[in-house]
Amino acid sequence: MRVTEPSASPSAWVRLWANPASRALLALGLVLILGCVFHADQAFFRLGTHRDALRQASVFGLLACGMTLVIIGGGIDLAVGSVLAFVAVAFSLMSIHWGWPPWFSVPACLLLGAACGGVSGGVTAWFRVQPFIATLAMMVFARGLAKTASGGMKVSTAVKDAEGTYRYVEVPGVFRFIDSRILDGNVAVVTLIFVVCAALVWVLLARHRWGRELYALGGNEEAARLSGVPVRQAKLLSYVVCGVLAAVAGMCQAAQEQQGDPEAGIGYELTAIAITVMGGTTLAGGRGGIGLTLLGTLTIGYLDKILSINAVPEATRLMLTGIIIVVAVLAQRRSR
């Protein structure tokens, strides 16, 4: 980092480019232009396409919001995909098999997510295990939990009777609600959940003491500690909130698929990290924000949608996504 006197004021363009939000906007703009060029017979200009893009991006966006918190605090959470699967299974079991009402099952699922995050956060903060390792362990463990709870099978509306025959039960109301659309069918409930959660996290980060402490400990943990920041508590809380958001994502996923798949969410943690980094939150910690992650979510979501409406094969899609992530991150580094 260069040290300069403030009097050396850079040009307006340089300052604009130095602002991570404008870079994230630029990336999104480029992707949208891409969509306008490769519109796949006007498909990109239909409202339904955008509605679907937002709906499909919502689950990833939820995970990315939690990931952003943890990354700002200087950590990483690899367990979100597994926690998502575990909660999806648990939510399906509670709602379909056990017939729990949503006012009971939803808080229970949130608690499960919080517990998973709490364990990895506690191991990281108190026992000083590197977050990569602690959450890697939780990633494996939660996947095991999901498979144990589900018995290795998808938990669907086909319920096995005592005699061993399958019968289909009705999809629970809470599933149907989450999977529905409101405002004349223009906004998916899942998208709404994502936006509300993102807003809550944004308020915490921007206005709560804890948000400031998180930035501080991500920027320089020792300096934060010597400034009286309760480093361990703040760190723990970031993993707990990340776990809760993964639980929300898991419930959304279960509702959309109408089942709890113990194999769900594999690799989602990496997408969440990619979204966070695309937005401009640095992996080193201390810099970034939820606004940036929202832009990152839109960028990755639209990119995926544009590639899929143009019927680009999945193999090519994956390679292109990889290249675009690297280019985006390199572009961010140049300005520092």
| Interface residue list for other proteins (CB under 8 A) | 1-7, 9, 207-210, 212-213, 215-216, 219-220, 222-230, 286-287
Cβ of 110: how many Cβ atoms within 10 Å? 18
Least distance from C-beta 1 to other proteins, angstroms? 5
Least distance from C-beta 28 to other proteins, angstroms? 24
Give the whole-angstrom CA distance, residue 234 versus residue 232. 5
Which CB atom, from 20 or from 301, has the smaller least distance to other proteins? 20
Amino acid identity of 34?
L
State the residue for tokens 């990290």: 273
Q: Is 8 helix (H, G, I), strand (E, B) or coil?
A: coil
Which CB atom, from 1 or from 311, has the smaller least distance to other proteins? 1
Least distance from C-beta 283 to other proteins, angstroms? 13
Which CB atom, from 228 or from 267, has the smaller least distance to other proteins? 228
- Would you call 218 exposed, middle or buried from its count of C-beta atoms within 10 A (0-12, 13-18, 19+)? buried
Give the whole-angstrom CA distance, residue 94 versus residue 101. 8
Q: Going by C-beta distance under 8 Å and a sequence separation of 6 or more, which residues neighbour residue 132?
A: 76, 78
Which CB atom, from 118 or from 219, has the smaller least distance to other proteins? 219
Instruction: Provide the greatest CA pair distance for the chain.
Output: 81
Residue 310 tokens read as 């143009």
Which CB atom, from 3 or from 162, has the smaller least distance to other proteins? 3
Q: Are 259 and 156 in contact (CB under 8 A)?
A: yes
Cβ of 179: how many Cβ atoms within 10 Å? 18
Please give the helix or strand (H or E) that residue 200 lies within, else none. helix 189-207
Which CB atom, from 199 or from 223, has the smaller least distance to other proteins? 223
Least distance from C-beta 74 to other proteins, angstroms? 11
CA distances from 189 to 175, 176, 252 (A): 11, 10, 9
Least distance from C-beta 2 to other proteins, angstroms? 7
Cβ of 325: how many Cβ atoms within 10 Å? 19
- Would you call 61 exposed, middle or buried from its count of C-beta atoms within 10 A (0-12, 13-18, 19+)? buried
Amino acid identity of 169?
V
Which CB atom, from 68 or from 82, has the smaller least distance to other proteins? 68
Which CB atom, from 18 or from 158, has the smaller least distance to other proteins? 18
Least distance from C-beta 316 to other proteins, angstroms? 37
Q: Is 35 helix (H, G, I), strand (E, B) or coil?
A: helix
Least distance from C-beta 232 to other proteins, angstroms? 10
Residue 263 tokens read as 């194999």
Which CB atom, from 76 or from 214, has the smaller least distance to other proteins? 214
